[in-house]
């Protein structure tokens, strides 16, 4: 018997962010496959907590945390009502996101078992444990889709068994229930229903007609229905395909037709089944990026550069997810458009949910609040604090990845530095990989960058907000961003921005006040940086206009709107 749900419990929500090194304490400055998406998930979780939810963040485990030997396993606290739950699968080593599909089956098995156990403790069905499951990126979406599919298959299998109980040997019903994971009852309810009754006679071609009559009469007697209507409906469906259907396939059509006739004879039962299947579908997907977008931007690259990104595999996963998911959160207009045009998602199923901003961190800082950060920069660069305070500072921070094109920024600044003597460039981010070493080589081999450009590595959290604020200019030469969170953070800090034209934040919030350039345009970046550093008034005006526009990007407000969107799409949302 199902126990009544405890009314004193907070409602629960689940977030899945599956690749990289997501954890309560994210690696300072980022780590492989660990960046803006994880900051997004953290802030969303905290907003849900503030509204009144208990939140579980599921992330791949079974391997060590980044930079330490501690194993990612079990449950780890993030805040009072937010916990990380590490999901084993795929072995005991880090897997790049392009290869993460090898871990998904094992992770799905573990998730299903874990949620079953947690639901059983509370006397509820597993799909009732969370009001919604919000997945991030395609790999997590495959897990969310898989959970819904398995839950719906269980529901459908039980409904089918109830409809044929007493007509089919119990051992056959037990085998059918045990095989439900592999035979997808929810995708073919009518077929499985008719097939259970017709077997084993259905394989006997000449006797199929008699088998249909016998099965229909048996079911009709038990359920007090008109056997003649069942037989007629089944034979009509079979007759209409007789001329074009191979003899060996006729039993499949017969099973489907008989099942449809039975479902039509039990409209109330069929309607209840649809409702129950809908209640188990609590998955909402936030892609953060799409394979088709990234592939388009890599189209001119050599085949070798594209091969490791597995575009075909990724597109196939995304198409499957879109086919099986009823609602979506798009972090940019570009992603929203491609969900509609390339993946067939109805616009009414979309919610626009861009990365928002922690305005307590990313804001304008008073001079007294930046002293420690100037000391940090002085220590890293060897430049005196007083010199730095009077200088023009250019800043960029992101993970060390070729797509961020930090080399473009260094080469552009190399042209600016001799012309503006009081300018300094600080680049944040890690790890100290091949990209980092190539940047170090550029600095060492370029005379105009000597003593003027510095690689900070991972920037401690305590300095991140003040650094965005004290910078005179934030520059992002990144080839592709799902939204452009660091650019948004610079804007919230009232810092002027120069970036590539591929960053969605600019189109939506700062087109008139951000200078944008094509990726790789070294001269264009150099000219824009120089023009901004020479014009204090223009730089200040554009920075403050950007800050004003970012006020709308409130995590609490957007999350409340998100919950209302889910409620409109029949999710059992209780708050706010």
**573 located within any domain:** no
Residue 248 to residue 507: CA distance in whole angstroms? 58
**Same-domain status, 210 and 301:** no
Same domain, 375 and 513: yes
Distance CA 549, CA 543 (A): 10
Range of the domain at 121: 12-144+280-352
Q: Residue 186 carries which DSSP code?
A: G
Residue 336: Cβ within 10 Å count:
21
Q: Both 210 and 62 in a single domain? A: no
423 found inside a domain:
yes
Q: What is the CATH number of the domain that holds 404?
A: 3.40.50.2000
Report whether 125 contacts 97 (CB < 8 A).
no
Give residue 461's pLDDT: 87
Same domain, 70 and 163: no
Q: Which of 328, 352, 376 is the last residue of a domain?
A: 352
Residues 373 and 495 in one domain: yes
CB 148 within 8 A of CB 184: no
Is 180 contained in some domain? yes
Q: Based on the fold, state whether residues 371 and 517 are members of the same structural domain.
A: yes
Question: What is the signed CA dihedral for 338, 344, 347, 348, rounded to 10 degrees?
Answer: -150
Question: Which DSSP category does 5 fall into?
Answer: P
* Secondary structure (H, E, C), 547-558: HHHHHHCCHHHH
3-state SS track over 438-485? HHHHHHHHCHHHCCCEEEEECCCHHHHHHHHHHCCEEEECCCCCCCCH
Residue from 139, 82, 92 nearest 111 by CA: 139
Residues 289, 263 share a domain: no
For residue 73, what pLDDT is reported? Answer: 97
User: What per-residue string of b and e applies to 4-29 under the rule 16 or more CB within 10 Å gives b?
Assistant: eeeeeeebbbbbbbbbbbbbeebbbb
Number of residues that this document lists for the chain? 576
Spatial contact of 60 and 86, defined as CB atoms under 8 Å apart = yes
- Whole-angstrom distance between the N-terminal and C-terminal Cα of the chain? 30
CA angle, 44 then 28 then 463, to 5°: 90
Q: Is 6 a member of any domain?
A: no
**Domain end position, chosen among 329, 352, 375:** 352
On whether residue 529 sits in a domain, the answer given is yes
Residues 328 and 376 in one domain: no
- What averages of pLDDT result for each successive group of 10 residues across the chain (576 residues)? 56 98 84 88 97 98 94 97 98 96 98 98 97 98 98 97 94 94 95 88 64 92 94 86 68 91 96 97 96 89 90 96 97 93 97 92 96 97 97 95 95 98 95 92 97 94 96 95 88 97 86 92 98 96 94 92 97 94
Name 392's bridge partners. 423
437 found inside a domain: yes
On whether residue 509 sits in a domain, the answer given is yes
Looking at residue 332, its pLDDT comes to 87
How many domains in the chain? 3
**Do residues 237 and 305 both lie within one domain?**
no
Instruction: Out of 278, 305, 337, pick the residue that ends a domain.
Output: 278
Q: How far apart are CA 571 and CA 132, in angstroms?
A: 7
Question: CB of 395 within 8 A of CB of 467?
Answer: yes
251 and 339 assigned to the same domain: no
Same domain, residue pair 220 and 201: yes
Residues 398 and 534 occupy one common structural domain: yes
Q: What pLDDT, on a 0 to 100 scale, did the predictor assign at position 342?
A: 96
Helices and strands in the chain, H and E counts: 24, 14
SS3 263: helix
Residues 155, 141 contacting (CB under 8 angstroms): no
Is 248 inside a domain boundary?
yes
| Euclidean distance between CA atoms 58 and 130, whole angstroms | 13
């Amino acid at each position: 018997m199902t126990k009544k749900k405890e009314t004193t419990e907070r409602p629960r929500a689940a977030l899945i962010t599956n690749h990289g090194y997501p954890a309560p304490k994210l690696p300072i400055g980022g780590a492989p496959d660990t960046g803006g998406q994880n900051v997004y998930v953290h802030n969303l979780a905290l907003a849900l907590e503030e509204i009144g939810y208990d939140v579980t963040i599921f992330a791949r485990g079974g391997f060590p945390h980044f930079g330490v030997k501690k194993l990612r396993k079990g449950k780890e606290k993030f805040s009072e009502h937010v916990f990380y739950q590490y999901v084993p699968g795929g072995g005991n080593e880090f897997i790049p996101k392009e290869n993460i599909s090898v871990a998904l089956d094992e992770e799905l098995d573990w998730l299903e078992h874990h949620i079953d156990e947690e639901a059983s403790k509370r006397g509820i069905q597993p799909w009732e444990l969370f009001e919604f499951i919000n997945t991030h990126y395609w790999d997590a979406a495959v897990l969310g889709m898989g959970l819904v599919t398995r839950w719906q298959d269980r529901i459908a299998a039980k409904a089918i068994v109830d409809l044929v109980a007493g007509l089919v040997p119990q051992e056959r019903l037990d085998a059918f229930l045990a095989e439900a994971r592999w035979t997808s009852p929810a995708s073919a309810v009518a077929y499985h229903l008719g097939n259970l009754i017709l077997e084993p006679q259905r394989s006997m071609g000449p006797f199929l007609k008699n088998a249909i009559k016998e099965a229909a009469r048996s079911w009709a007697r038990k359920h007090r229905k008109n056997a003649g209507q069942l037989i007629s409906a089944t034979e009509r469906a079979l007759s209409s395909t007789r001329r074009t259907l191979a003899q060996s396939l006729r039993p499949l059509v017969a099973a489907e037709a008989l099942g449809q006739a039975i479902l039509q004879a039990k409209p109330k039962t069929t309607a209840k089944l649809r409702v129950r299947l809908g209640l188990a579908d609590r998955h909402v997907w936030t892609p953060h990026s799409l394979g088709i977008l990234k592939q388009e931007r890599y189209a001119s690259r050599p085949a070798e550069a594209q091969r490791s990104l597995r575009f075909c595999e990724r597109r196939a996963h995304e198409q499957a997810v879109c086919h099986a998911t009823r609602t979506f959160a798009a972090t940019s207009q570009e992603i929203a458009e491609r969900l509609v045009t390339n993946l067939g998602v109805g616009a009414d199923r979309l919610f626009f949910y861009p990365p928002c901003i922690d305005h307590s961190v990313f804001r304008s800082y008073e001079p007294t609040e930046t002293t420690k950060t100037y000391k940090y920069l002085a220590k890293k660069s060897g430049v005196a604090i007083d010199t730095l305070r009077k200088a023009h500072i250019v800043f960029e921070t992101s993970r060390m990845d070729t797509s961020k094109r930090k080399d473009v920024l260094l080469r552009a600044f190399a042209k600016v530095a001799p012309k503006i003597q009081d300018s300094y460039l600080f680049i944040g981010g890690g790890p100290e990989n091949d990209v980092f070493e190539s940047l170090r080589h550029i600095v060492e081999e370029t005379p105009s960058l000597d003593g003027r450009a510095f690689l900070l590595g991972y920037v401690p959290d305590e300095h991140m907000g003040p650094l965005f604020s004290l910078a005179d200019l934030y520059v992002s030469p990144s080839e592709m961003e799902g939204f452009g969170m660091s650019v948004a953070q610079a804007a919230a800090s009232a810092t002027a921005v120069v970036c590539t034209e591929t960053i969605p934040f600019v189109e939506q919030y700062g087109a008139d006040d951000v200078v944008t350039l094509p990726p790789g345009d070294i001269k264009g970046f150099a000219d824009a940086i120089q023009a901004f550093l020479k014009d204090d008034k223009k730089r200040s005006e554009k920075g403050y206009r950007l800050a004003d526009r970012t006020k709308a990007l409130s995590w609490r407000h957007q999350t409340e709107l998100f919950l209302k969107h889910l409620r409109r799409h029949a999710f059992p949302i209780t708050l706010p």
